[in-house]
Structure 1
Amino acid sequence: MRKLYSCLILFLCSTIYGQKSFNDFAQFYPIGEDPSVRYMTSYTKQETILFEANPIIRYSLYNNFMKGLMDENQKHTQAWYIAFKPQLRMYTDNSLPVRTPSYKILLGTQHLFRINATNTENQNFWGFSLESGHYSNGQDGSSFSELYPDGSPEGDAIYNTIDQSTDLSKIINRRSGNFSTNLTEIIFNYRTYKIDDDNVPKQLHSFNLGYTLYHNRFVGIGNFGGYTPNDIKIYGRHRLSAGYEFMKVLQKLDDKRFSIKQNLELIEKPHQSVNPFRSESIVTFYPFTKSKTVGFFVSYIYGHDNYNLRLVDSGHQATFGITWSQFPPFSITNKL
């Protein structure tokens, strides 16, 4: 139990350091996931999840979102950064509590373009996020056997026994199975803010449409870190995603706010036992007036898992936890 709490404190400190502080909004990124720590129910009886931590860190190379959004003459704002997106799950296993953690190391850029004039009640933007890099779990075992290393003749021979009727969730190597690929993801975003007399956003509608490609070369150049031919047939090269978020500030409750999100993902032509669909519905409430980025959330998930090679698991999940929002209560324009 002491190790559990030590890991949790480490995750929280890493996230806080990467974001600088709960109230530091200089490195605002409008598109992407929020860091979080959450309890999750389990997809399978083979293992029980204790909690999951997503301490997302973005190291900014250039970011003028805050300055640009407050300048009514600025039609284009942007950011360039390096993103580190670990995904770590603690299981109820004394000998090996953290299994096959995920690591994404990505080069990224985000852009927003102002659509309408700033002297209106509604401010509309369209933009995009482009990220490319490496995604793996740092393991060296065969994906479907704990007895053989990844890439060994014995491990590769197991793939010859897999057909479309094989239940991969039952045979997957959950302790040391290798997962590795390079990826590129582009997300298009349209958002509209409703602002008050002080030009502070009080309501948000945001729509995402994305595409992810798994490929061999790192950022299209480096010949390392790619997938194996046997594995890509199972988890598929192409993914489509869509998302919607509604946020509202509750002025009668001292400007506390809440958000509702719906995210969808579809994998093109994975193995027959992999559910290609994933849906996550999230409700978040931000109860603090002095630390407005800190929120508590609950969510419901249906479909395939998103924890590297555990995408072969599927079903229903309930989660709840704490998050650090990337939507700060800033002014979109300077009021004269």
Structure 2
Amino acid sequence: MGVVTPKIIIRMYQEESFPVRTPSYMPQLTLYYFLKKRANLQTLSLYGRIGHHSNGQEGGFYLKDGDINLKSGSFSTNYLELGFIKTNVSGRLNAYQFYKTSLEFHPKKLVDTPLHGMYSRLRWNNSLSIFRLSPEIMQNNSKRPAMSLKGETTWKFGDYENLNTFSPQRLNLSLTFYYHPNFLEDIGFFARYYHGSDYYNIYFDHQLDILRFGIMTEKLSF
């Protein structure tokens, strides 16, 4: 099975004029192949992905003073990703579990030259999601889990930014808690904590610690 994802991330700044700059354009083509499929949602899948990440700018990467040109500097990278997805239902926890692990590789020739030595081209990604299943959900496939928890990590390999092999700056991590109240059909609430390098294109050199609250829609049903 193949899936095309036209992903775009837009960040709004607290400014008086033109608060949205350099969106992240992140189209992806992903192919999935079932290696094992059993009853009770127990599956093992292999997937491969071709991805692109750019900001649609064509200016110089550096300013005259040597700082990165955050407003109009060009940022572009292409990558290949290969990984596994495992799903199962835990009777002991009464929960649906989703685990994904992958290696993400950015070929040197497909990465903007100024990023060489600054941007990790080999990354190990992991994701674990747990959806709490109530007896009502087990009996009615149209109902959605009331609560879910998702943890994600990325470890960045390679010689870049003169970081030590086990430097904490190589780790990106996030934790998301999602709650879907019974009185809402498709809308839920979430709280998310993120720590690591900035994921917004040319801002990758910045470090973030973010606690976010909001609303979201969850299409997964059982």
TM-score bucket of the superposed structures, by smaller chain: 0.7 to 0.9
Query: What is the match of residue 10 of structure 1?
Result: none
1:188 pairs with one of 72, 81, 84? 84
Matches of residues 81-100 of structure 1 in structure 2 within 5 Å?
81-100=3-22
Are positions 1:178 and 2:82 aligned together?
A: no
Matches of residues 97-108 of structure 1 in structure 2 within 5 Å?
97-108=19-30
Are positions 1:261 and 2:183 aligned together?
A: no
Gapped regions of structure 2 (runs ≥ 5): 138-142
SS of the residue corresponding to residue 118 of structure 2 reads helix
Q: More helix by proportion, 1 or 2?
A: 1
* Kept after mapping to 2: 8 A contact 1:256/1:288: no
Q: More strand by proportion, 1 or 2?
A: 2
1:303 pairs with one of 185, 196, 204? 196
Are positions 1:230 and 2:124 aligned together?
A: no
Structure 1 range deviating more: 265-274 or 205-214: 265-274
Amino acid at match of 2:95: Q
Matches of residues 114-125 of structure 1 in structure 2 within 5 Å?
114-116=36-38, 118=39, 122-125=40-43
1:204 pairs with one of 96, 118, 141? 96
Partner Cα distance (2:15, 2:201) in 1? 19
Deviations 1:262-294 (A, max 9, x none): 1000111331379221010110112256634x3
SS of the residue corresponding to residue 18 of structure 2 reads coil
Query: What is the match of residue 332 of structure 1?
Result: none
Partner Cα distance (1:106, 1:286) in 2? 29
Amino acid at match of 1:127: S
Partner Cα distance (1:176, 1:290) in 2? 42
Are positions 1:80 and 2:15 aligned together?
A: no
TM-score, scaled relative to structure 2 = 0.82
Q: 1:111 to 1:182 in 2, by over 3 A?
A: same
* Kept after mapping to 1: 8 A contact 2:7/2:27: yes
Partner Cα distance (1:255, 1:243) in 2? 20
Partner Cα distance (1:324, 1:262) in 2? 18
* Kept after mapping to 2: 8 A contact 1:264/1:277: yes
Amino acid at match of 1:267: K
Matches of residues 1-336 of structure 1 in structure 2 within 5 Å?
79-116=1-38, 118=39, 122-145=40-63, 158=66, 171-193=67-89, 203-215=95-107, 226-251=110-135, 256-269=145-158, 270-272=160-162, 275-288=169-182, 291-292=185-186, 294-329=187-222
Query: What is the match of residue 140 of structure 2?
Result: none
Rg (Cα) greater in structure: 1
TM-score, scaled relative to structure 1 = 0.56
Higher relative contact order (CA 8 A, sep 6+): 1
Q: 1:92 to 1:129 in 2, by over 3 A?
A: same
* Kept after mapping to 1: 8 A contact 2:52/2:77: yes
Q: CA deviation at 1:296?
A: 1.6
Q: CA deviation at 1:256?
A: 4.9
Q: 1:256 to 1:242 in 2, by over 3 A?
A: closer
SS of the residue corresponding to residue 260 of structure 1 reads strand
**Aligned Cα root-mean-square deviation (Å):** 2.7
Deviations 1:42-99 (A, max 9, x none): xxxxxxxxxxxxxxxxxxxxxxxxxxxxxxxxxxxxx212211111101111223112
Partner Cα distance (2:154, 2:16) in 1? 33
Gapped regions of structure 1 (runs ≥ 5): 1-78, 148-154, 159-170, 196-201, 218-225, 330-336
What is the identity percentage for the equivalent residue pairs of Structure 1 and Structure 2? 23
Partner Cα distance (1:310, 1:210) in 2? 24
SS of the residue corresponding to residue 142 of structure 1 reads coil
Q: CA deviation at 1:194?
A: 5.2
The count of corresponding residues between Structure 1 and Structure 2 is 210
